[in-house]
A and B are shown apart, each in its own frame.
Chain A
Amino acid sequence: MTDIPVSHILFVSTALFFIGMYGLFTRRNMITMLMSIELILNSVNINFVVFNKYLYPDKLNGIFFTIFIITIAAAEAAVAIAIIINLYRSHKSIDVETAEEMKY
């Protein structure tokens, strides 16, 4: 286990981040966008854990942050899904482009 170089893990996390970014920018479905955001958050989590592990193995600060982010992500998912349900009720669609009444 110990011989996985840090660059590999960072590569995975970066890939995960940009996959999430790509999904966030291109998908119109809000559920998919929410999932993309989760990907981004998880890529950050991986970063935290990796740096914690390799730079300060005797400390847990990075891990704490990861746990915080997971908690907040859960709350965020709840709020986001509530928003999506309300949007669906009012617009009969969860396409993000239909919610543009407040533009300009």
Chain B
Amino acid sequence: MNYASYIALIPLLPLVGFVLLGLFGRKYLKHSSGIIGTGLLLVSTVLSLYTAYNYFFVDGKVEDSYQTITAVKFTWLSFSENVSIDMGIILDPISVMMLVVVTFVSLMVHIFSLGYMKGEERFATYYAFLGLFTFSMLGLVVSSNLFQIYMFWELVGVSSYLLIGYYYDKPSAVAASKKAFVVTRFADLGFLVGILILAFYGGTLDFNTLIERLTSQQSSQFLAITTASFVGVSALTWGLTLIFIGGAGKSAMFPLHIWLPDAMEGPTPVSALIHAATMVVAGVYLVARLFPLFTLTPVSLSIVTVVGIVSAFLAAIIACTQTDIKRVLAYSTMSQIGYMMFALGVSGYGGENGLGYTASMFHLFTHAFFKSLLFLGAGVVIHFIHSNEMKDMGGLRKYLPITNFSFLVACLAIAGIPPLAGFFSKEEILLATYNSNKIVYGVALFTSGLTAFYMFRLYFSIFWNKQTEVHNHHGEGPFSMKFPLMILAFCSIFAGLIPFGEYVSSDKTMLKSHFDPMFSIAPVAFGVIGILLAMWMYKKESTKAEKISQSLGGLYRAAYKKFYIDEIYLFITKKIIFNLIGRPAAWIDRNIVDGLMNGIANTTASVSGFIKGIQSGKVQSYAIYFFGGIVALAIVFLYLWK
């Protein structure tokens, strides 16, 4: 069947929304902009669900393995016969899965924002930016080559920047958007260099061709990229590691995670969409996209593993100490993405070895639902209480029954309690880790206990604990805010039951679902212990938490201060880079570059001042010049011209 006819519409419809609302939104479509944006995205969502149905159940599968289908392909920039940059859409299990996730979560966020952002001055602009983001993210997931993915990668960065800085009159939001942009840009430098290395040795930007060439051991490209080396490390490892740096920046992996907690300055639905479900998993998606290449170099894969597990563990500890509910969720996101990363890192290629790959993608899939649900729930709470701080909340279960229920579902899901979605995906990750690396498994297991603890610390602090006085009576907000919560809660409960391995696996063949009740005892036990601990500390108003945090002393303070990573960055940039590089550069700029320019300008000005003095406006001096000229000519022609 011909996919091209409608699949291009999936990313293009949000783009249409962006252009329409961006150009005319503020003047003409002020009140209908939300409906327009949501309507266009609804069509996209339906189309992508239809695509997924077609791909997975009708004609994607040939002889028990899913084919990579190039739905659209055209040359965008043609430099010479061999060098051109293409644009295209490829369909394979992960891109189809991402299409569904992105459009679906984006649709939920669009609907939620109808209520949440109502009455905002720049309502239309908000929907225009959401449209831009959705377009770029969809373009990213269906990219057929490295350059296209890089372009859309930057586009999602831009739209993330715009949306974090949406409240541009708030200095903290402006600073956060700048920070997010600079940190991810910095990481993208690595990505770009990695792309150039792979493209140089592989001779192509196209994913399929590149993977095909580099994975066959006899190909000239494979020999070239493995024999070429820099500082004793092969070019392949360099390229992939640099690409992973780009992915780590986007996915907020340690030590490039510092922008994510600050990015919570944006509107809460935006955090749900960009900083929980879609954009931040782009790094995971990128590694998954190039996974056949990553399996060629154990070094790159172990970097992925180490970065993933360190991020997962650190973020979980920090999340236990934060008091801003959105920051807790941000660190939780970072921790869960860490899970996805190290699941990829411990995975092998093909068959049973590829379990980690499947598990990672599965976790990405389920995480999108429950994390966006958590953020939207937090949005309802913030909408209701007008504060982000936990200390202003408590006992809200009576006022916000639906939010209470859906938040609980999401917390249980992320804590890995059966039979909710998070249980199955986390289970597979832990199983894959157990099979390949026991140390990572131990840390991951402990982290899953921490996850349960901090999520339920959040839950109990918001919905139980002390009773807060509530002065407003607008309740949970309009139906448009409750509806996405219910839908996402439904998904968080049942998404885990999908036999994911049958659809997504490293070599695109079927992988049986792994479910071993004996193995699940340990993770579930850790989760339950975490929940009970949180319940004991936070269900009733008490001083237990404070006492414990005091007894931990320095460790607690370090975690509360996010292990001083921001301070280290500030020290390196302000003290070292600014003093050693910034100041000399500024001096050269001010004195030498500017001096040169000013010198030229001053010379020109003084010369012109002299010349314009000739035009004095005195007719008689003109007459003298004229006469002098005639005399001079006469002398020349009479005496000098021989």
Contacts and interface: CB of A to CB of B under 8 A. Distances in A.
Interface string B613-629: 00111111001100100
B612 interface: yes
B627 A97 contact: no
Interface centre among A28, A96, A99, A103, by most chain B C-beta atoms within 10 angstroms, is A103
Contact of A103 (B617, B623, B624, B627): B617
Interface of B: 612, 615-620, 623-624, 627
A21 B624 CA distance: 9
A24 B620 contact: yes
Contact of A25 (B612, B615, B617, B620): B620
A33 B622 CA distance: 14
A96 to B, nearest CB: 5
Interface in A63-104: 96-97, 99-104
Contact of A97 (B615, B618, B624): B618
Contact of A96 (B615, B620, B627): B620
A102 B620 CA distance: 15
A102 B617 contact: yes
A100 B620 contact: no
A104 B619 contact: no
Contacts of A33: 620
B416 to A, nearest CB: 83
Given A21-B627, A24-B623, A25-B624, A104 B612 contact: yes
A100 B624 contact: no
Contacts of A24: 620, 623
A79 B617 CA distance: 20
A32 to B, nearest CB: 12
B608 to A, nearest CB: 10
A100 B627 contact: no
Contacts of A99: 617, 619
Nearest to A103: B617
Contacts of B627: 21
Given A24-B623, A104-B615, 15 more contacts: A25-B620, A25-B623, A28-B620, A33-B620, A96-B619, A97-B618, A99-B617, A99-B619, A100-B616, A100-B617, A100-B618, A101-B617, A102-B617, A103-B617, A104-B612
A78 B469 CA distance: 99
A25 B621 CA distance: 8
B87 to A, nearest CB: 57
Nearest 5 CB-CB pairs, A to B? A103-B617, A100-B617, A104-B612, A96-B619, A25-B620
Contacts of A21: 627
25 contacts: A21-B627, A24-B620, A24-B623, A25-B620, A25-B623, A26-B620, A28-B620, A33-B620, A96-B619, A96-B620, A97-B618, A99-B617, A99-B619, A100-B616, A100-B617, A100-B618, A101-B617, A102-B617, A103-B615, A103-B616, A103-B617, A103-B618, A104-B612, A104-B615, A104-B617
A104 B620 CA distance: 15
Interface of A: 21, 24-26, 28, 33, 96-97, 99-104
A100 B624 CA distance: 17
Nearest to A30: B619
A79 B620 CA distance: 19
A33 B612 CA distance: 25
A24 B621 CA distance: 10
Contacts of B616: 100, 103
Contacts of B624: 25
A100 B618 CA distance: 7
Contacts of B620: 24-26, 28, 33, 96
A77 B616 CA distance: 25
A55 B618 CA distance: 41
Contacts of B618: 96-97, 100, 103
Contacts of A96: 618-620
Nearest to A24: B623
Nearest to B619: A96
Contacts of B615: 103-104
A21 B626 CA distance: 12
Contacts of B623: 24-25
A22 B478 CA distance: 97
A34 to B, nearest CB: 12
B569 to A, nearest CB: 56
A26 B616 CA distance: 16
A36 B620 CA distance: 12
A104 B619 CA distance: 13
Nearest to A101: B617
A16 B617 CA distance: 27
A96 B266 CA distance: 72
A99 B620 CA distance: 12
A102 B616 CA distance: 9
A24 B624 CA distance: 9
A101 B612 CA distance: 14
A28 B619 CA distance: 10
A3 to B, nearest CB: 30
Nearest to A21: B627
Nearest to B612: A104
Contacts of A28: 620
A14 to B, nearest CB: 14
Interface centre among B612, B617, B624, by most chain A C-beta atoms within 10 angstroms, is B617
B508 to A, nearest CB: 79
B614 to A, nearest CB: 10
B578 to A, nearest CB: 47
A97 B621 CA distance: 11
A104 B616 CA distance: 6
A103 B615 CA distance: 6
A33 B619 CA distance: 11
